[in-house]
Amino acid sequence: MSEFTVKPAQILLVEDNPGDVQLTKEALENCKMLNTLHVVMDGEEAMEFLYNKGKYQEAPVPDIIILDLNLPKIDGREVLRRVKNDDKFKTIPIVILTTSKAEEDIIKSYEYHANCYITKPLDLENFIEVVKAIENFWMGIVVLPQGSGEKDG
């Protein structure tokens, strides 16, 4: 592992609640995997990040997107739909992490090909566990298609 230049995993967090952003950061700090957390606060910014627009000219293609549903400007559901309809980005796993327990949101999300749907745990310990689990599962356990984006290893 030390012989390879290990590029950190690029994680894009789309979250408008700074409290949750901070909690997510806290959770990821203790992770085994090397990762870079990019945070955008609304849907519009998320789209700019992906398409390298505005201040995100140099932004990388994320390895995973953690997406809240209720967002200002462009809604999280719309972000999901657009990403999954774009051949360039549709292989990127999207994890829905939201407070909504509404059946409708769950169904819609999977119909739009979300890779998994998680409601935010009310308890801090649980919340940290969940974030760690996401990171561990998607970055460590599953095999993702190689060569997508700028990854070369």
Q: What residue ranges bind other proteins (CB under 8 A)?
A: 17, 19, 23, 26, 99, 120, 122-125, 127
- Kindly state the smallest distance separating residue 12's Cβ from other proteins, in Å: 22
- Kindly state the smallest distance separating residue 16's Cβ from other proteins, in Å: 11
Task: Please say which residue, 100 or 148, places its beta carbon nearer to other proteins.
Answer: 100
Token pair 């999954």 is at which residue?
Answer: 84
Nearest to 55 by CA among 45, 43, 66, 65: 45
Task: Please say which residue, 123 or 152, places its beta carbon nearer to other proteins.
Answer: 123
Q: Give how far Cα 17 sits from Cα of 10, 40, 113, 138, Å.
A: 20, 10, 24, 23
Residue 147 CA to residue 138 CA, distance in Å, equals 16
Task: Please say which residue, 63 or 105, places its beta carbon nearer to other proteins.
Answer: 105
Residue 112 CA to residue 36 CA, distance in Å, equals 26
- Kindly state the smallest distance separating residue 75's Cβ from other proteins, in Å: 17
Task: Please say which residue, 23 or 61, places its beta carbon nearer to other proteins.
Answer: 23
